[in-house]
Structure 1
Amino acid sequence: MTFLPSLPENAVLFDVFKAYPDTARPIIEYHETVMRGPSPFSLAERELIAAYVSGVNNCAYCHGVHTATAEAHGVEPGLLGAALADLDSARVDPRLLPVLRYVGKLTQTPSAMTPADAEAVYAAGWDESALHSAVLVCALFNFMNRMVEGLGVSADASYFSVSAKRLHDIGYVGLAKLIPPAAA
């Protein structure tokens, strides 16, 4: 149940977007840019980063949706749960380990970031563009986690696969097209 009494009891984030289209559209367009635009990371890797950040934040809604979306794009089922339980023993691509460490630290203790954190990402073979992309995904999902938790949005596991299929099939830009225009 959301904290917005005007929405139905079982409202999901898409219902919030439909209720507030003027703020939803720019957010969704930014998702499209960060999550589907040019990046050194694949769609699956960006969804994995989003789900990991959401898991670090204990945002069950975003973690569930983006874990299912990452898996729809080819991430091994169970990988995100294993990474959150113990990143070092999870079967994460070794090149992604420092990226996930970076976004995890940025999520938990942003003021503690150091040049050494960035150097670990570079040492794994990523460039400046990759660091920038990872930070944008991390920042976006920290924002979304706060929005979801602040509005009391929740869903059960059955919804996660529905949302993941929609994101996989039509992307974020397709989601924006499903939102009716704001009332005049």
Structure 2
Amino acid sequence: MRLPEVERGDSLRSRTLIRIISMMLGARLPDAARVAFYHKDFLGPALGAWTQEAMRGPSEWSVAERELMAAMVAKWNSCPFCVGAHRAIAVRGMDNAVADACLDDYHTAPISDPLRATLAVLETMTLHPGELQAAQAQTAINAGATRRQLTDAAAVAALFNIITRYANALDFVIPTEAEFDKAAGMMLKRGYA
């Protein structure tokens, strides 16, 4: 359900910011950013800080790997907006073919064993959380993932299991690939907070 206040902004300040940023981007400001302007004091600061820490804070995973994890969670949750947005950011730090192969089937994609085993944990966490067992985490550790990497990956998955549902519930407009690419550049410079 698309709320008019989210589309246009719920205050004069929000409407002005949406227009200015859209002009600077040369494209429509993506709905994820528009939602961040909507009732900023309700969810914005907490969600923005959590997202910034999970996606840009210190981690043994690269920014591109964490963005790929977000895109994978989005794929498992059938959220085309988040798949497109986070794939566009991930490919700024990894080969397009690797990201696409992973999104197609991470089991056969040319990625590291620790990342593959971690994605298996995240897939279970996303699709069948009641089936997640310590043995699966141990399998990831045996494949070379560290406990810190698993903790960081779980934070990304938890966050995007919320965000993808939010995006789907609010019926986010799906930008073109070129618009996703422009927004990706902005997200890499600006971050999430």
Normalising to structure 1: TM-score of the pair? 0.85
Q: Corresponding residue for 2:122?
A: 103
Counterpart CA distance in 1 for 2:119 and 2:73 is: 8
Question: Higher relative contact order at CA 8 Å, sep ≥6: structure 1 or structure 2?
Answer: 1
State the shift of 1:43 in Å. 1.2
Over aligned residue pairs, what C-alpha RMSD do you find?
Answer: 1.7
Q: Corresponding residue for 2:64?
A: 44
Once the two structures are overlaid, the 10-residue window that deviates more, 163-172 or 60-69, is 163-172
Aligned to 2:181, what secondary structure does the other structure show? helix
- Check conservation: 1:48, 1:75, Cα contact below 8 A: no
State the shift of 1:155 in Å. 2.0
The runs of 5 or more residues in structure 1 that have no matched partner are 174-184
| Paired residues for 1:58-137 under 5 Å | 58-72=78-92, 74-137=93-156
Aligned to 1:30, what secondary structure does the other structure show? helix
State the shift of 1:122 in Å. 0.5
Normalising to structure 2: TM-score of the pair? 0.82
Q: Report the residue type matching 2:82 in the other structure.
A: C
Counterpart CA distance in 1 for 2:4 and 2:76 is: 29
Q: Corresponding residue for 2:189?
A: 169
Q: Corresponding residue for 2:76?
A: 56
The aligned length equals 171
- The one of 30, 39, 45 equivalent to 1:25 is 45
Q: Report the residue type matching 1:81 in the other structure.
A: D
State the shift of 1:80 in Å. 3.1
Identity percentage of aligned residues = 30
